[in-house]
Amino acid sequence: MTEIWHGLVKAVELIISFDPEVMQIAGRSLMIAVSSAVIGSVICIPIASFIHFNRFRGKRFLVSLIQTFYSVPTVAVGLFVFVFISSAGPLGGLGIVFTPPAIVVGQVILITPILLGLTISALSGVDRAILDTARSLGAGGRQMAVLVVKEARFAVVAAVIMGFGRAISELGISLMVGGNIRGFTRVITTAISLETSKGDIELAMALGIILIFIALVVNILMNRIQQR
């Protein structure tokens, strides 16, 4: 117990004293995960809208497939991205292996199913009565689409936050394609893993607390958005 208590005290000290290493790692994690969430949204929300607003064969199957990939293991994505962007791989020419952009690429792939799936759900969840009313008032196809999007916007934001949460809490991708390089690709999760394995429990705990704190903020945001 003393170790845990000691670790906690030290962790809080590291946080409130704005320990440069802790802050740098936390800041980097946020930067990378926010980038992933933004890029992922820019890519996925239009695709999700396209899927939702069009009828085509195999649509149900496609949606099921997307949902299946919600729980894709991060290490599997990490391995997949690594073999592609490694210098010997097909995208080796980009030279991004062991850099932050490599982590972003991996995280975008990781959260794509969640962003697609939840955005589709969000758009599908718009109250039919609203649509019927609008149609009866003479709204055209485009006006209807705009309406759906406006109605669903908070649920879509919730989807994006969900994707962000998955991105910031993943370990496998950051470790495998980022390389956990100090001062460059070391993020909260890889630092926790390394510091724990080094027996440096305090720093690991401080970072763990920050990660939980970020998760808490994200959840509060999500709740507030959904209560609207």
Partner 1 sequence: MPLKFNNGSKIAGALLIVALLIGLIPGVIGCTEEESEAQFALHDPLVRFKIATTTSLYDTGLWYHLEPIFEELANVEMDIVYAGTGIALEYGRRGDVDAIIVHDRAREDVFIADGYGINRRNFGYNFFLIAGPPDDPAGITGSTAAEALKKLHDEGMKDADTVKFVSRGDDSGTHAKEKLIWREAGFDYEDVRNSGNWYVEAGKGMGPTLLMANEMQAYVLADISTFLAYNFKSDLSLEPIVDKDSIFLNVYAAIAINPETHPKAKIDIANQFINWLISPEVQEIIGTYGTAEYGRPLFFPIASCDMPGCPPVEDYTKPVPEYMK
Name the residues that contact partner 1, by CB under 8 A: 35, 38-39, 41-50, 53, 86-89, 92, 94-101, 104-105, 108-109, 127, 129-130, 133-134, 142, 145-147, 149-151, 153-154, 156-157, 160, 179-182, 184-185, 194, 197-200, 225, 228
Q: How far is the CB of 66 from partner 1 (least distance, A)?
A: 13
**Beta carbon nearer to partner 1, 49 or 74:** 49
Q: How far is the CB of 192 from partner 1 (least distance, A)?
A: 13
Tokens 């995960």 correspond to 33
DSSP-based three-state secondary structure for 146: helix
How large is the angle between the packed helices 100-124 and 20-53, nearest 10 degrees?
40
Q: How far is the CB of 35 from partner 1 (least distance, A)?
A: 6
Q: How far is the CB of 94 from partner 1 (least distance, A)?
A: 7
**Beta carbon nearer to partner 1, 16 or 197:** 197
**Beta carbon nearer to partner 1, 16 or 152:** 152
CA 134-42-129 angle, 5° bins: 15
Q: How far is the CB of 209 from partner 1 (least distance, A)?
A: 21
Q: Which two tokens stand for residue 168?
A: 């910031």
Q: How far is the CB of 8 from partner 1 (least distance, A)?
A: 18
Cα(19)–Cα(35) distance, integer angstroms:
24
**Beta carbon nearer to partner 1, 8 or 225:** 225
- Residue 203 CB contacts under 8 Å (≥ 6 apart), including other chains: 11, 14, 21, 22, 191, 195
Taken in order 107, 113, 118, 120, the sign of the CA dihedral is positive
Cα(176)–Cα(167) distance, integer angstroms:
14
**Beta carbon nearer to partner 1, 16 or 53:** 53
- Residue 186 CB contacts under 8 Å (≥ 6 apart), including other chains: 25, 28, 178, 180, 194
**Beta carbon nearer to partner 1, 2 or 16:** 2
